[in-house]
Structure 1
């Protein structure tokens, strides 16, 4: 499983989360404590918002701990909203197009989790994408595909409902093709204004998510693992939750898929 961190608030240096803390995201890339494996060395990425509507993006296939450019950029870039990710590949090869975050227009997205039986579901899932979104698919991961499905289901105007519908569709498709539905989804995404996160799993065993207020910056940080040993500073986000961080602070609500939705299934038979 991957590790990630996201921040929204007054502008701060990216290094304050990515490289400076005792258990920073770079530290988690080689010594994660709440993942299946401690090493997340299959690439990394950062997406940050500044003066333009679309975010800046830097990704590479090197392990985060060995990329001097990442540390240099993180020490120089100040941003009020950014997403950072270190990857442990579960689907898709180690290539730049498969590294998170993914960006489409003003939206950025990163993910920790997986779609079970993805290699069997990938082709019918891709057939659901309209041509203009399918043409933007650069990599081969389930994460990028979930992001594009959410764009198809209305991410631009209704972010959380779009992901509810995208995940429900994946679960319905798996069942329709005779597979046990299984989605693990702990993700962060943003339009440059609000920062959103979801912690969800079909089997109620979603990857971890924590939140912490950063009072000096009047902001909040969301992470896969706490950045220090002071657990009192970190609130564990419950499984089946959505988080919205905006100008008014942090809000946590229930996130669950709608089992009553009726989808037109792609015309692809199970392999």
Structure 2
């Protein structure tokens, strides 16, 4: 399917995570170790916020493989951000086109997804009709992921993010049952308003795609005092990834099945994710 990462913390160059680690996101686009597909070459995208505070994020997306895009490399080595999302895509059936590449953006929000809505073509009409008419015009592509984003916005993502995503998941499952589609939803999702990051791991069958979060920075700095990159990060720095970027013992914690997490100033949160039936 896809691979992604979400970073929040000390401003860093995008290349520090996209290119430099041993198992960087660019490496995973060619040699994913935990994905359904080894190769994720059906487009890519990165969305980032400016250093001087939350605002509408910048977005760069392409339809080719991430590993060969010279413009992505230029942007990654010259752009510094305290919060960014990045995604490499393996299509589950929809077209390879720029409007289908993640992250998706609406005002100050970004959204990306790994997984699928099973038999999406059969469920699509009912799901799209549930999108708020005021948001419908901003549906630009043809993916299930973008529809999921607009449903979450419809259900109050801007005010109650966890509840909105739970309502979105509940609707997908209800529509799936109505059309006799077993286990319709598979997802790991990251979304952000430029201040906090929410991450979700859930699937209807209870066997979700891989997802990890980084151990607290201060603990990692004690474990690896000679690692210059770690020593430069603040205690608020945190990373969520589809699969680890490096083999550092103790650096990665698996996100539990059917869970959500919130990266924010102060204490982060980890809670139970429970779809809400419509």
Q: In 2, Cα distance between the equivalents of 1:64 and 1:205? A: 28
Tell me by how many angstroms 1:179 deviates: 2.3
1:5 paired with 2:5, answer: yes
CA displacement 1:121-165 (0-9 Å, x = unmatched): 011111111222111000000000000000000001000100000
Counterpart of 1:143 (choices 126, 130, 145) is 145
Tell me by how many angstroms 1:92 deviates: 1.4
Secondary structure (helix, strand or coil) at the match of 1:228 reads: coil
Q: In 1, Cα distance between the equivalents of 2:102 and 2:267? A: 26
Aligned to 2:229: none
Contact 1:220 1:250 in 2 (8 A): no
CA displacement 1:61-107 (0-9 Å, x = unmatched): 01000001111111111111000000000031000000000000010
**Which segment is superposed worse, 214-223 or 88-97?**
214-223
TM-score (norm 2): 0.91
Counterpart of 2:201 (choices 174, 180, 199) is 199
Tell me by how many angstroms 1:205 deviates: 1.0
Tell me by how many angstroms 1:244 deviates: 0.3
Contact 1:214 1:221 in 2 (8 A): no
Contact 2:196 2:262 in 1 (8 A): yes
Contact 2:212 2:255 in 1 (8 A): yes
**Which segment is superposed worse, 177-186 or 193-202?**
177-186
Secondary structure (helix, strand or coil) at the match of 2:250 reads: helix
CA RMSD across the alignment: 1.2
Aligned to 2:233: 217
Tell me by how many angstroms 1:53 deviates: 1.2
Correspondences of 1:73-92 after superposition (within 5 Å):
73-92=75-94
Secondary structure (helix, strand or coil) at the match of 1:108 reads: strand
Aligned to 2:21: 21
Contact 2:183 2:203 in 1 (8 A): no
Secondary structure (helix, strand or coil) at the match of 1:132 reads: helix
Tell me by how many angstroms 1:177 deviates: 2.4
- Structure 1 unaligned blocks of 5 or more: 264-271
Tell me by how many angstroms 1:197 deviates: 0.2
Tell me by how many angstroms 1:250 deviates: 2.6
- Structure 2 unaligned blocks of 5 or more: 219-231
1:238 paired with 2:256, answer: yes
Tell me by how many angstroms 1:28 deviates: 0.2
CA displacement 1:151-196 (0-9 Å, x = unmatched): 0000010001000000100101111223224211101000000011
Secondary structure (helix, strand or coil) at the match of 1:85 reads: strand
Contact 2:213 2:254 in 1 (8 A): yes
Aligned to 1:41: 41
Q: In 1, Cα distance between the equivalents of 2:117 and 2:211? A: 18
CA displacement 1:185-214 (0-9 Å, x = unmatched): 101000000011000111111111111144
Aligned residues: 260
